[in-house]
Structure 1
């Protein structure tokens, strides 16, 4: 079980950046879909929310990696 758990644990900043990149690709695609489905200001606002969520999540992921490294013995 530990080996499987290790596969889903972000241990380095490089892995964190890969996860953030994947989140950004998905958010950009979702934003395009929102702008297509909701033309005008509403679609642009939803697309902006998608990208903003990536910035917030990315910051938390990087902070978590730093905190994990700091508290690890």
Structure 2
């Protein structure tokens, strides 16, 4: 995660939704969801759909945060 991503302001309702959808998901499911969000973002940008791109970027940001949290949790448990 970049410094910019860490400070990216995500819609709190969207963040809560993503966190609910993936509560308790294993790392590989989080990684797959992050990959899908990244592809959705690329596609939205390619089609010049700013609203869709913003939502996809926010989802991707939340998913990267979840991945970082899970990696830290696993590291502490190792």
Q: State the TM-score bracket (shorter-chain normalisation).
A: 0.3 to 0.5
TM-score by length of 1: 0.48
TM-score by length of 2: 0.45
Whichever structure has more helix as a proportion of its residues is: 1
Q: Which of the pair has more CA radius of gyration? A: 1
